[in-house]
Structure 1
Amino acid sequence: MRERISHALGRDADEQTLRDTLKQQPDNVDAAIALARALLARESPDEALEVIDTVLLTVPGHLRALNAKGVVLDHEGRHHEAQALYRQALQTDPANLMLRNNLKLSLALDRKPAIGNASLQQPQTDGRHALDRSR
């Protein structure tokens, strides 16, 4: 029980540290992605999108931030919106493997009900690891 409480308090402290960092450095994409990952892990995708949108206001068109937003949208099943972001970012850097792979995954997730491939569902349902694709 103590361990669980300690872990929960540590997570909140980490989130607060990331929020403080973003207040001081609103263009800190690394902090925004880390905070969004933490928010997804505790099932707060709307907050994660808000964090990414805020950093995108400061650094519009940042490829990693666009990718992170796409990942959150894919996590929420909003694949068409995610695909539009990946394509937008790919116009800037067509050879970017991270974006190309996430676009392919998003397209596969979008077709998942027709394909029925359960292995493709993991990134969508596991928010703790979803934003790892943003690196």
Structure 2
Amino acid sequence: MSRPNRIPAITDESDAERLLRQLQRATETILEPTAAEEALEFYLEDKARECRKSTVDSHRSRLGFFVEWCESINAVQPGLFKKIKSPTIPDEKVARETTLHVSRGKEIVTHLDRFEYAWVEHVGWLLLTETSV
């Protein structure tokens, strides 16, 4: 059986204010302001420990645009990068060796011909199925 939480007795308003200040101090987190570019570099350094250089370069390229946008609108809380852990991917899951059969590729293109004609995905699948051996 669990014990109920003990709630301190509040005799007057000054006690409530004092308890509130104590609670605020106990839960405050001091954030260090960090520029978006610096946060990106921290992230890329973390990634470099477990990823190939090409992966890190790809992240740098794509995230560079995001950093410029976040910086332009001041939308992120300073120090956010410290709270996010990069996922680790085991070596055996870095790349798949799955074969797409020609018949399945044609089924996908037929579906896209009908429902998503000339969309990027349709064009990509069309090129893939027409140029693959």
Tell me which of the two structures has the higher relative contact order, counting C-alpha pairs closer than 8 angstroms and 6 or more residues apart.
1
- TM-score by length of structure 2 reads 0.28
- TM-score by length of structure 1 reads 0.28
Q: Which structure is higher in helix share?
A: 1
